[in-house]
Amino acid sequence: MPTHPLPRPLIRFVLLVAVIAPVVPLAPAQSVTPTEVAKADGRVQDAEYGVAFVCPPGWSSSGAHRWGDMESTIVVESKALPDAQFGIYSQVYYEPFAPAEGFPAWLRAEADRKARLRATSDGFLDYANRADSFVAREIGGHPALSWSADYSAAGRKYRELLALVISESNRVLYFAKVPADQVAKLQPDFDALLASTRLTAGTWKQALPARVFAARRAYAAKEFSEAVEAFTLAFQAAPPRPTDLVLGAAAAAQTGQREVALAWLGQAVAKGWNQTSRLTKNPAFASLHASDEWKKIIAALQRSQGSIENVTDPDLQKKLLAILDEDQKYRKQLGEVEKQFGRDSAEIKALWKTMAEADAINLPQITKILDEKGWVGPDVVGRQANCALFLVIQHADLATQKKYLPMMREAAKTGAAQPSSLALLEDRIALREGRPQIYGSQIMRMANGPYYVDNLADPEHVDERRASVGLGPLADYVARWDIKWDPATYQKEQAERAAQKK
């Protein structure tokens, strides 16, 4: 049975830049090229996201991807160390951040948290026996921690070299995953990368008015009275942004200026602010909750959220979200349970049984909706709830998948379904019928062995087909299963697997 897609892949030398707040849905990835200056010495610069570095000798950048205005990925590869995985994950603050002086305990805790979070999301790493050694240092003029982590994956020993850097504008996690026998060879490249990396504000911050930045700085320092004064001047000088109105309102609420806070919140909602929880769960606004104006603002916000997603059937949305939760919650446990107890353990078999029982309950509910209402789109139930239709059908039996495939094809043409999701269903049906898959989305696993892409048609042109439906390059996708994609190697290995089956 094809495996289900795992979380975000760990790809060879990656630069991820995430812009924090305001939170917006990610747009489809767009391929772009980072600006390379002084190519002879391997220098790479991404001016938009404010990152520049020099590729170590033998490494070269091969392209980049934009994920809306939230993330950017720059890929850099080495032919000499094909098993090494290098990466930089960076978050860029909208509000200025003032790191504490010295070597604060929270920085070490944050470093440890990020390492464990990444291990969990990758799904392969065993951090049960870690050997960490934290060292305070400076990178690019910013306080930082460096450390290492030893672990095993698929029976092989690995080491990660990591570093976390905190600056006023960026929080950056560097890591290099490498088999234990290659650590000595990779360490100089990792050190060279860190030494060469420079973080700047990027073009997004260059457009931030000085008065707004000063107001945000005061807010970050919890100097709320100064922040209110600075925001007032900034709003008088130029039209305010919704994010700044909310920050200003929070500062005003904490200094007892309730009328100012409510006025600014009202303007923020009128300008499109749509994050209810960032208001209702923020203790800074607790003093406003009893007022009628606050209740009006929250009601207007809730109405605006409904119009933004154009949810016309909230009852059906609620039902689909519940089904989505049931479909996903057991599948999310598979990696951890298998890692802890083993692939053939009683625990993993029990989890598969529970998941099958949940699927048996979910499927008739979804087919009833499809038969009565058709493939309802995001305009009816919202984007998350809409995903439940595809996922439950994707996990159904072949006859059910074939029955609703034409409906999903039509839905993809009208925007009621995602073309990328349709591609996954097309691939799964093709393999079940003994035909080659088209997009390479279905991953198989040898018994107690590695993962592989199964029975792919025309592998040389798969990325063109994937791009046509909004899917990224196959090499990036399969890296999450530690698969190195090369069409020629794939064809050879696939022929060997076919011979073994005979």
Q: For 333-363, what is each residue's pLDDT tens digit?
A: 887 777 777 778 888 888 888 888 889 999 9
Band (pLDDT 50/70/90 cuts) for residue 322 is confident
Question: To which H or E segment does residue 475 belong?
Answer: helix 474-478
Band (pLDDT 50/70/90 cuts) for residue 289 is very high
- What per-residue string of b and e applies to 449-466 under the rule 16 or more CB within 10 Å gives b? eebbbbbbeebeebbebb
202 touches 48 (CB < 8 A): yes
Euclidean distance between CA atoms 380 and 375, whole angstroms: 10
- By C-alpha distance, which of 489, 76, 122 is closest to 339? 122
Looking at the predicted structure, is the pLDDT value of residue 404 above 80? yes
Q: Choose between 143 and 374: higher pLDDT.
A: 374
- What per-residue string of b and e applies to 479-493 under the rule 16 or more CB within 10 Å gives b? bbbbbebeeeebeee
Strands 85-93 and 14-20: parallel
Q: What is the pLDDT of residue 53?
A: 82
Give me the sheet containing 135-139, strands edge to edge: 29-32, 59-67, 71-78, 14-20, 85-93, 170-179, 156-166, 142-153, 135-139
Looking at the predicted structure, is the pLDDT value of residue 208 above 70? no
> Which residue in the block uniquely carries the two structure tokens 């409906």?
407
Of 80-94, 219-233, 480-494, the poorest mean pLDDT is in 80-94
Q: What is the pLDDT of residue 76?
A: 67
The pair of structure tokens assigned to 89 is: 């994950």
Mean pLDDT throughout 88-95?
A: 58
- State the pTM of this model: 0.45
The overall average pLDDT reported for the chain is 76
Q: What is the pLDDT of residue 304?
A: 59
Q: Choose between 233 and 24: higher pLDDT.
A: 233
pLDDT in tens, 223-259: 999 999 999 999 998 888 787 898 899 999 999 999 9
Euclidean distance between CA atoms 342 and 335, whole angstroms: 10
The 8-class DSSP code of residue 469 comes to T
127 touches 138 (CB < 8 A): no
Looking at the predicted structure, is the pLDDT value of residue 107 above 70? no
Q: What is the pLDDT of residue 134?
A: 75
Contacts of 399 (CB under 8 A, 6+ apart): none
DSSP string, 139-165: ETTEEEEEEEEEEEETTEEEEEEEEEE
Band (pLDDT 50/70/90 cuts) for residue 198 is confident
Q: What is the pLDDT of residue 261?
A: 95
Q: What is the pLDDT of residue 41?
A: 67
Q: What is the pLDDT of residue 40?
A: 53
Other Cβ atoms less than 10 A from the Cβ of 289: the count is 10
Band (pLDDT 50/70/90 cuts) for residue 264 is very high
Helix boundaries (H) for 197-285: 202-206, 210-220, 224-237, 242-254, 258-270, 277-280
Euclidean distance between CA atoms 281 and 279, whole angstroms: 6
Q: What is the pLDDT of residue 64?
A: 58
- By C-alpha distance, which of 73, 69, 89, 88 is closest to 23? 69
Q: What is the pLDDT of residue 207?
A: 54
Question: To which H or E segment does residue 87 belong?
Answer: strand 85-93
Q: What is the pLDDT of residue 191?
A: 86
Q: What is the pLDDT of residue 116?
A: 56
Q: What is the pLDDT of residue 14?
A: 34
Band (pLDDT 50/70/90 cuts) for residue 325 is confident
- By C-alpha distance, which of 85, 79, 88 is closest to 54? 88
3-state secondary structure of 328: helix
Q: Choose between 485 and 130: higher pLDDT.
A: 485
Phi and psi at residue 243, in whole multiples of 5°? -60, -45
Looking at the predicted structure, is the pLDDT value of residue 484 above 90? no
Q: Choose between 36 and 186: higher pLDDT.
A: 186
The 8-class DSSP code of residue 395 comes to T
285 touches 313 (CB < 8 A): no
Q: Choose between 278 and 132: higher pLDDT.
A: 278
pLDDT above 70 coverage of the chain, percent: 71
Q: What is the pLDDT of residue 354?
A: 86
